[in-house]
Amino acid sequence: MAKKKATKKATAKKATKKTATKKAATKKAAPKKAAKSKRKPNPAFMRPLNLSSTLAEVIGSKPMPRTEVVKKLWAYIKKNNLQDAKNRRNINADAKLKAVFGKGTVNMFEMTKLVSKHLS
**For the whole model, what pTM was predicted?**
0.63
Per-residue pLDDT of 3-34, as tens digits, reads 556 555 555 555 555 555 555 556 666 666 66
If one compares 38 and 87, the residue with the highest pLDDT of the two is 87
How far is the CA of 31 from the CAs of 23, 38, 106, in angstroms?
18, 21, 51
In our burial notation (b when 16+ CB lie closer than 10 A, e otherwise), range 79-89 reads eeebeeeeeee
How far is the CA of 67 from the CAs of 20, 47, 102, in angstroms?
56, 10, 21
Sequence spans of domains, the chain: 43-116
Please name the fold of domain 43-116: MDM2 (1.10.245)
CB 77, CB 83: distance < 8 Å: yes
